[in-house]
Amino acid sequence: MPQPCIVCTRHVPRSASADAARALGNIALDAESAHTITAAGAIPLLVQLLGPGSPADAHSAASGALMSLALGCAEAVAAIAAAGAISPLVQLLRPGSPLDIQKTVAGALMALGFYHPENRAAIDAAAARENVVAKMREVGVRWDF
């Protein structure tokens, strides 16, 4: 089902990849679809969009898609961490990134760390835990991990 979006993220300009990532994020809200997206190999492509060469809308769309995947599929959490997403997510959380991106990134990091101590440790190692909690409070979520 989400295969066309995955193909799009591989074969279109980065600007259109943000649209594909946004579509994947919406599809990933369904747990079965999140599993399919994970199995199809979309996560490394989404992580690539978090890099410094991508535009802000790609950062936002990719971090939102990763958050949706992490909330809907335990396998996705492991795949996201294995694809190296924590470090670029932490970089996007730093001051200087647009606030809306910081909030989406905080949500993605929260989803990655909530029930997963190994990811929490990686977030702590990147000195991002306090920033994640602060960003979640800014959007009205009272949560600590």
Distance CA 139, CA 99 (A): 11
**Closest of 31, 27, 58, 29 to residue 45, by C-alpha:** 58
- Position 115 scores a pLDDT of 81
Sequential pLDDT tens for the chain (145 residues) = 445 455 444 555 656 889 999 999 999 999 999 999 999 999 999 999 999 989 999 999 999 999 999 998 999 999 999 999 999 998 898 778 888 898 898 889 889 988 888 988 888 777 666 767 777 677 666 655 5
pTM of the entire structure? 0.84
**Closest of 75, 70, 78, 72 to residue 107, by C-alpha:** 70
Q: What radius of gyration do the chain's Cα atoms show?
A: 14
- Position 124 scores a pLDDT of 79
Distance CA 107, CA 8 (A): 25
Residue that has been written with the tokens 């990849």 in this structure: 17
- Position 7 scores a pLDDT of 45
Distance CA 26, CA 64 (A): 9
Contacts of 17 (CB under 8 A, 6+ apart): 8, 9, 45, 49, 54, 58
